[in-house]
Homo-oligomer: A and B are copies of this chain.
């Protein structure tokens, strides 16, 4: 019979605390090979030390326990490595966005108040090729990256002329709850919406369908936001504040128009986003 290790010993050989080992037992991430049915004592096999070292390293790179469990249960080495690589890739993205957040903080502290122009305009109704979805705040970037290519492809297939930069509608709840309905759209040359919409296929499973819709005419307060998207709050603050102070805010989703966007250039400093706030009257 092979030597068994108590929790205390196993803890010393793995540098995992006893409490952590209890937790890994309870969640099934790393189970002792034997639990004494009468005392409840946990006993580990010396061969589990290696696995424990892996768990410790995966936790050190903040992999969630549930994923660690999946990695450990992977059928072969390849599946295991793929799981780890996927997490490391997410970790890199996290690092990048933290770096961006630091830059954004320093920009807020060093730059004075932003003060670009606020314009008012009457936007006529428009026919647009649109895709809607329920999107979470932190997924909006990747959602757009998936959705706009589909819209351009759909415009091409239908031989519709795209007449301007892409935009999106954000319901108020998108801001207030951190998730909600978003509609991405491309303005296209006016056609009979009904005729074209009928051509629309059934769409792939689980994917929203591209539709032709008509955005209503609307009065808008408009400001252009320069820079990365996670600094949009500043422009929203300026724009919304003026609208609220003048007391002419109107209901309905807020529009963004991506004048210069990641498809045009990789440098966030060059991006330009028009933020359009519904108002009841133009001064």
Contacts and interface: CB of A to CB of B under 8 A. Distances in A.
A241 interface: yes
A84 interface: yes
Contacts of A12: 172, 175-176, 236, 240, 254
A129 to B, nearest CB: 27
A244 B46 contact: yes
A105 B87 CA distance: 12
Contacts of A236: 12-15
B61 A101 contact: yes
Contacts of A7: 176
A11 B12 CA distance: 49
Nearest to A104: B57
A64 B114 CA distance: 27
Contacts of A197: none
Contacts of A254: 12
A18 interface: yes
A109 B61 CA distance: 14
B108 A57 contact: yes
A60 B7 CA distance: 38
B105 A9 contact: no
Contacts of A163: none
Interface of A: 3, 5, 7-9, 11-15, 17-19, 46, 49-50, 53-54, 56-58, 60-62, 81, 84, 88, 91, 95, 98, 101-102, 104-105, 108-109, 113, 172, 175-178, 230, 232-234, 236-237, 240-241, 244-245, 247, 249, 254
